[in-house]
Structure 1
Amino acid sequence: MPNEHSYTYMQESACTPTTDIEGYVPFPDDRCQEYVDEGYWRNLTFHDVLDRAATETPEQTAVIGPHRELTYEELAENSRQLAISLATEAGLEENDFVVFQFPNSSEFLEAFFACSRIGVIPVMLLPRHREAEARHVLDLTEAKAVFAAGDRYQLGFDHVSLLDDVGDEFDHLTHRFAVVDDEETLPEGWTSFDAARDGDLGSEPSVDLEDIDVNPSNPGVLLLSGGTTGMPKGIPRTYNDYVFQWEYMAKVANVQSDWVAFPSVPIGHNASLNCVIGAAIWAGATIAVEPVLKPDALMSLIERHGGSYSLPIPTQLIDILEHPDLEEYDLSSLEVLVSGGQKVRPKAVYEFVDRWDIGFCNIFGMAEGPLICTRPEDDVDDQAHTVGRPIAPDADEVRIVDEAREEEVTRGDAGELSVRGPGFFTGYLRHAEENDENFDDDGWFYTEDVLALNDDGNYEVYGRLKDTIIRGGENIYAPGLEDVIIEHEKVENVAVIGIPDDRLGERVGAYIELVDGYDSLTVDEMGEYLKGQGIAVFKRPERIEIVNELPRTEVGKISKADLRDDIVKRLESE
């Protein structure tokens, strides 16, 4: 059972975070103390949570990977040895940054908890990031070390060469570690991850981990924003605020110690690291990792290891439901699925719940902190059409505000989501302009997401402010229109965007993937269909672009930034 653990934690002034990191915005002292006094912050680091599980259930399987299996005791011990090597060989110290570019693997977990033991901050560069993102992140953080996957994992891209080439531009990058089976494949200056973890580097330890006192109110991980426009922003999360969400996500999803949790998106993405990995470690459950995140590989993992719990994005749900060999896989072990990141099709929720009798958590989440979701025990209609409630309703401060960000809107009306509390970040790293724009003097973060609070206490998501098309003064929320268009018999997938227009400001446009067997869909056809669905004339698309495949971000979301760029180019060429 989750959360049935004995804890001793300190309610002292030690909750004050450091201010030694240039460009980091710490939690105010009074809020830190309040969160500790209220019991929301337990003053635990990431490795504290791991060590508790290793003490209580040492022989419980912690992680199953394609190459090996580790108990909680083994994972804890491996992370200790690696931490000693990082401090001794690389000279890493508290508040130093190191860049991770790992696939979903056991090595990620060993390195993640090793960094926690010495107060080093891992930066979550995703496997699909390339030169521009790597260069930006290294420059932003002044990272002293990088971790990458070498020949052990066949990912179709050479991440070691990428970070080797880019890393040569930065004098502060002094150490490079790679996961390899053949050390002869490593470029000069790189160290084998296994040798560092196993203490085979030959140096006498220069640190005693018992002497390192990591402040749980310091940043413990640096997540990256989606980066759909420009370069990703750095999102510092403290040990306290992140562990707080681990605990509450485990409660919300009712994660059990005998479950097998598996990340369906990159492990360094908040959806996996927080909602799946963190919740599983909190509950003492098993984590199964699979580097290849295609439907066949994930369904095979579920069948092979009895996968219980995960957070796939909506496109992955559709890929599974529409897989030609779906009936050949046994997915009956599934207990709870969480999904979000973009609008979840209601019919996908109904089909998953009906076919596998699962609990469904429809989630609105951000790396910056907000986590709002339905519960597994909720009525399926709520799971299909809303995103439920905040994961910690007594602790999370949530408001829906007007365009001026001055007043809360009337209940039921759509507005911008604004948040503050023990599970939310306090500012982007070294990005004062962005912080000035989206934080007020009282610490409220304005998310630029449009939501509404229904009378039943559940929230509905309408999209980003940038997804709000303003046509002649009328607001049109693109995701709501997409929900209707997707039900057309010819439509496989759709993205609605605003098309620049000199007279009206914007007009409605739709990029559409067609169902196999259809080769056209006109504006008039769509207009007649939407008329029959009761959609107002001003909301109906005035231009339709048929595409073979909608562009995606690094985690599989539809990239509307790319579509906006595309429509501008098309208009210019015309």
Structure 2
Amino acid sequence: MAGYESATLDIDGYVPFSEERCRQYIEDGHWRNLTFHDVLDRAADDQPDRTAVIGPHRELSYGDLQTRSRQLAAALVENLGLEVGDMAVFQFPNCTEFVEAFFACSRAGVVPVMLLPRHRAAEATHVTNLTDAKAFFTAGDRYEMGFDHVGLVDDIAADCDSLEHRVAVCDETVPDGWHSFDDLFEPDGTDAADDIEVNPFDPGLMLLSGGTTGMPKGIPRTHNDYVFQWEYMASVSEVEDDWVSFPSVPIGHNASLNCIVGATFWAGGTLAVEPNLKPESLMALIERVGGNYTLPIPTQLIDILEHPKLDEYDLSSLEVVMSGGQKVRPKAVYDFVDNWDVGFENIFGMAEGPLICTRPDDDVDVQAHTVGRPIAPDADEVKIVDERREEEVQQGEAGELAVRGPGFFTGYFRNEEENSENFDEDGWFYTEDVLRLNDDGNFEVFGRMKDTIIRGGENIYAPGIEDEIIEHPSVMNVAVIGMPDERLGERPCAFIELEPDAEAVTVDSLSTFLDERGIAVFKHPERVEIVDEIPRTEVGKIAKVSLEERITQQLKSEGVLPEEY
């Protein structure tokens, strides 16, 4: 593989790294020309009996995982007819099957697309069609997810022309027209996968982000740029090969897949997976497996700290706790450090690549009040620019974060409009996030330039929800904003002007309406304010700042928010 100097797959709508940048990153030692399964094989060849994955249904050594991923890769090629460059949607809970399928796809050259368990029909249809996915992997009756994911795929299949194969993780019932995950394995069929050449310069997975239409954008990540970040995350987090790491958010989310899963396999450690991500289940997991390293969102930190049964669980095995996705309350950082003597990593991250975090041995004040430094300061190119994107601001001033380097993506998939808006001709990606570089070399995050609500680490693009709500027969005008919330950071709130003589819209009736339109539950407004007129600026734009101030004051008057918020 060392002879490759650029991508070999010609995928319509994919923006590859230039040959010049590929050569430079190889020469500088930033890229090691390793695929995802190369990382697994390195650990398996060195320590085949070491435990790789602990799950609720089975435990696999590195040797087991290596063998099973080869067997499944052979089935993808021989039985399903998937080829290098084909895409497969993943909508798994946190489970061993995800890990097996992820490394199997890497061996077969198939690109997994990371749909999250909370996504529903609208997002699933969009993502499947955007990527021309040929296969869809999801949870069957083995895992109780509180939602029929098999039914979701059956419902959207007629609208997804590319979709040829459906694979479910089943124990008892294999749905009609579906493959059982366990029955796919080819015990003697590893040669078919071993003969496939996978280029580490090519896309290895497709992450998702919010888009301008409210639907997810595709974020292709190559083996090289993602493994580069696995190595650095393992280094800055000081992950040891005898550690047990566990993802506290969905495993297909970049926060888990990159910072926890990837870093753990790079270090040769053990990954523990738990489908139920509620606080009590996570605390029980920590106690059961001796969990050392994780990344919960700030909401989960608070839920653990305030849990009535906290004293019943032994969390003393924790070594490093990372958190981000929204502002981490400083008190939560201090409490975790005081209670369990952890190294706390406060992180700012994006699926597009930027990863900036504090280090486990930083002073606790730095961990509580900043997001630290880039994970690869010798390789990451980072600058803070003014609103015109023309000049860098002075150190200590806030501006837009722009990045370029061996750990960042090169363009949204099949989205020329976004790429034109957010990339310049020199390859710099403008993130639309406002940060400041302090005199001590640590960054602070101040907010977002675009109209996005972050609810407990989940991005909700407000205009996309507004486009759905405006179709309600009672709604004449609508503005969706993020109302402040101490636990989740923000919750969506809808200000609505009603049509004349229309029936009132409530939270429940609006949620039912959005359910029928296939919109994920976490995007539904959790408060509805009926107003005579939505305020606008002198140029006719909705004055969302005015609405945000109004709802903040209202929440304070109701005692929902403290006066000092």
Identity %: 66
Report if the CA contact (8 A) 1:80-1:114 is conserved: yes
Q: CA deviation at 1:513?
A: 12
The equivalent position to 1:145 in structure 2, one of 135, 158, 178, is: 135
Q: Distance in 1 between matches of 2:221 and 2:425?
A: 20
The equivalent position to 1:115 in structure 2, one of 100, 105, 113, is: 105
Are 1:520 and 2:508 matched, yes or no? no
3-state SS of the aligned residue for 1:16?
A: coil
Q: Distance in 2 between matches of 1:122 and 1:510?
A: 43
Report if the CA contact (8 A) 1:276-1:310 is conserved: yes
Q: CA deviation at 1:496?
A: 9.6
Aligned to 2:175: 187
The equivalent position to 1:41 in structure 2, one of 28, 31, 50, is: 31
Q: Distance in 2 between matches of 1:233 and 1:493?
A: 24
Report if the CA contact (8 A) 1:492-1:512 is conserved: no
Are 1:175 and 2:165 matched, yes or no? yes
Q: Deviations over 1:260-286 (max 9, x none)?
A: 000000000000000000000000000
Q: Deviations over 1:385-422 (max 9, x none)?
A: 00000000010000000000010001000000000000
Q: Distance in 2 between matches of 1:292 and 1:228?
A: 31
Query: Structure 1 residues 522, 281: closer, same or farther in 2, change over 3 A?
Result: closer
Residue type of the alignment partner of 1:26: P
Query: Structure 1 residues 287, 93: closer, same or farther in 2, change over 3 A?
Result: same
Q: CA deviation at 1:164?
A: 1.7
Are 1:393 and 2:377 matched, yes or no? yes
Aligned to 1:462: 446
Q: What does 1:559-574 correspond to in 2, within 5 Å?
A: none
Are 1:416 and 2:400 matched, yes or no? yes
Q: What does 1:82-101 correspond to in 2, within 5 Å?
A: 82-101=72-91
Q: Distance in 2 between matches of 1:191 and 1:207?
A: 22
Let me know the Cα RMSD of the aligned residues: 2.5
Q: CA deviation at 1:158?
A: 1.1
Are 1:269 and 2:253 matched, yes or no? yes
Q: Distance in 1 between matches of 2:141 and 2:156?
A: 19
Are 1:509 and 2:544 matched, yes or no? no
TM normalised by structure 1 equals 0.81
Q: Distance in 2 between matches of 1:510 and 1:379?
A: 38
Q: Distance in 2 between matches of 1:110 and 1:206?
A: 14
Q: CA deviation at 1:509?
A: 1.8
3-state SS of the aligned residue for 1:241?
A: helix
Aligned to 1:351: 335
Query: Structure 1 residues 382, 87: closer, same or farther in 2, change over 3 A?
Result: same
Are 1:257 and 2:241 matched, yes or no? yes
Q: Distance in 2 between matches of 1:441 and 1:226?
A: 24
Q: Which moved more, 1:308-317 or 1:159-168?
A: 159-168
Q: CA deviation at 1:497?
A: 9.8
Q: Deviations over 1:461-481 (max 9, x none)?
A: 001113799xxxxxxxxxxxx
3-state SS of the aligned residue for 2:57?
A: coil
Residue type of the alignment partner of 1:320: I
Q: Deviations over 1:499-550 (max 9, x none)?
A: 85435954252656999xx982499x94xx57xxxxxxxxxxxxxxxxxxxx
Aligned to 1:311: 295
Instruction: Provide structure 2 residue ranges, at least 5 long, that are not aligned to the other structure.
Output: 454-483, 494-533
Query: Structure 1 residues 519, 446: closer, same or farther in 2, change over 3 A?
Result: closer
Query: Structure 1 residues 177, 321: closer, same or farther in 2, change over 3 A?
Result: same
Report if the CA contact (8 A) 1:336-1:358 is conserved: yes
Report if the CA contact (8 A) 1:420-1:443 is conserved: yes
The equivalent position to 2:152 in structure 1, one of 151, 155, 162, is: 162
Aligned to 2:278: 294
Q: CA deviation at 1:175?
A: 1.1
3-state SS of the aligned residue for 2:406?
A: coil
Aligned to 1:223: 207
The equivalent position to 1:450 in structure 2, one of 434, 458, 471, is: 434
The equivalent position to 1:403 in structure 2, one of 384, 387, 405, is: 387
Residue type of the alignment partner of 2:416: A
Q: Distance in 2 between matches of 1:335 and 1:247?
A: 19
Residue type of the alignment partner of 1:270: N
Q: Distance in 1 between matches of 2:145 and 2:560?
A: 40
Q: Deviations over 1:206-237 (max 9, x none)?
A: 96333211000000000000459610000000
Aligned to 1:283: 267
Q: Distance in 2 between matches of 1:205 and 1:391?
A: 40
Q: Distance in 2 between matches of 1:46 and 1:334?
A: 27
How many residues are treated as equivalent by the alignment? 490
Q: CA deviation at 1:314?
A: 0.5
Q: Distance in 1 between matches of 2:44 and 2:148?
A: 35
Residue type of the alignment partner of 1:502: T
Residue type of the alignment partner of 1:76: Q
